[in-house]
Amino acid sequence: MDEIGLLDGGASWNDFRAARGRFFEGLSRRKGEVRGNAAPMTLRRFVEAWGARDADAVAAQFSVDGVRHQFASPEARLRGRTEIALGVAAIIRAVPDCRLDVRACVEGGGGVVALEWTFTGTYERDLPGLTDGTEIVLPGISVVTVGSDGLIVLENVYWDRATLMAALGTFD
């Protein structure tokens, strides 16, 4: 039998919700906190660079041949600091008041850290299908692998285009 009897049918829906709440409460204690061996300073600088809207500083947190792979549509796989800086700069140009707020940070083994974030700002230009002045609120997750040198080797970025489009009023 599991801790609260969910598997044997002895728990109610309220028991399940309470257990789920305790689980997420444990994660949220680390809200915005970046932990680990080489990862903390790298990820702190990474988030601060987004906050400063500095594409080169974001890219500098990646290894020379690091990869930023965005799985949402349009999919983008940027390799190396130059491509990463150009991709991040395009986002910053389109949403010049952008902000990346880390809601949770969970560390796994092998330098892997998951960041749950919300990207917000006002769309101004250069993103097809959007109207200037549209407020963007986009939740997402980045799964980041930090190498032994303290630099990001891989960032897999997940967000839902349908969520973005619905928030912008272009998709129901």
Q: Please, are residues 41 and 53 in contact by the beta-carbon 8 Å criterion?
A: no
| Residue-range definition of the domain harbouring residue 67 | 31-167
Tokens of 29: 């204690």
What mean pLDDT do residues 83-98 have? 94
Distance CA 41, CA 12 (A): 43
Q: Is residue 7 part of a domain?
A: no
DSSP string computed for 89-120: HHHHHHSTT-EEEEEEEEE-STTEEEEEEEEE
d(CA 51, CA 36): 21
Cα→Cα distances 35→10, 105, 146, Å: 37, 8, 12
- Whether the pLDDT of residue 23 is over 60: the answer is no
| Percent of the chain residues topping a pLDDT of 70 | 71
Q: Could you give the number of structural domains in the chain? A: 1
Structural domain contains residue 95: yes
Q: Does some domain include residue 14?
A: no
CB 117 within 8 A of CB 140: yes
Task: Identify whether the C-beta of residue 62 lies closer than 8 Å to the C-beta of residue 139.
Answer: no
Q: Give residue-wise pLDDT tens across range 30-49.
A: 444 444 456 777 888 999 99
Greater confidence (118 vs 21) lies with 118
Question: Domain with 85 in it: what CATH number?
Answer: 3.10.450.50
Whether residue 38 lies inside any domain: the answer is yes
Asked if residue 3 is part of any domain, the answer here is no
Please check whether residue 158 lies inside any domain of the structure. yes
Q: Write down the mean pLDDT value for the chain.
A: 79
Are 111 and 147 in contact, with CB atoms under 8 Å apart? Answer: yes
Using DSSP bridges, classify how beta strands 62-70 and 152-159 pair: parallel, antiparallel or unpaired: parallel
**Domain annotation covers residue 5:** no
In a domain, 19, yes or no: no
Least confident of 2-6, 59-63, 70-74, 129-133: 2-6
